[in-house]
Amino acid sequence: MYRMRSYTAGNIKIQLFVAVLLTLGPTLGGCSMVSMPMGSNNVDTPTLLTGSIASSSDVAYADINNDDRQIIAENLDAIGPELAAGSTAEDLTLPWLNAISGNSGTLSKLDTATLGETGCLSFETTANTIAGIKLYSGTACRDVVQKFAVTTLSVADA
């Protein structure tokens, strides 16, 4: 007489083994996480993903953030009526201070030669930041509501 084999006992053992593996796999896998930084959460400083040499505009962006640029533009707006009247602004110096960041500087050498044609003027400013004191050259242009906005800023040769 042949004895009939029952395959259900074998299937139960295999199913139990698979269930244990599926439970322990993710549990033990969580203990050995490998992570790699993909970018930066700092929105003020751009992440340079290339290994190239930093340009002067990268340095200017890192030292003088958008809040500082807005304060520079507000100071240029404050002397806007004098600039529109055609007075010479090359000898004019104007201090600026960002009370939040602590950065400060002095605007000078305002070149208003193209202000009437393009609505833009060039300037130089010093900036006293945590990185030190540097000289920057920049351009500010008027927007639709005739307010100045700093459009370019780079480290100038002293």
CA 115 to CA 140: how far, in whole Å?
A: 10
Which residues partner with 142 through β-bridges? 148
pLDDT at 34: 55
Token pair belonging to 99: 């009370």
CA 80 to CA 83: how far, in whole Å?
A: 5
Q: How far apart are the first and last CA of the chain?
A: 106
Nearest-Å Rg of the Cα atoms of the chain is 32
- Edge to edge, the sheet with strand 94-97 lists 94-97, 104-111, 120-129, 132-142, 148-155
pLDDT at 105: 92
CA 7 to CA 9: how far, in whole Å?
A: 5
pLDDT at 18: 77
pTM equals 0.59
16 band by pLDDT with thresholds 50, 70 and 90? confident
* Predicted confidence (pLDDT) per residue in 74-123, tens digit: 988 887 666 655 555 667 888 999 998 889 999 988 888 877 788 888 88
Token pair belonging to 119: 């609505």
* Predicted confidence (pLDDT) per residue in 34-80, tens digit: 555 555 555 555 555 555 555 555 666 677 888 899 999 998 888 76
pLDDT at 70: 92
Q: Which residue has the higher pLDDT, 153 or 46?
A: 153
Mean of the pLDDT values across residues 28-39? Answer: 56
Phi, psi at residue 7, to the nearest 5°?
-85, -10
Token pair belonging to 91: 């000898």
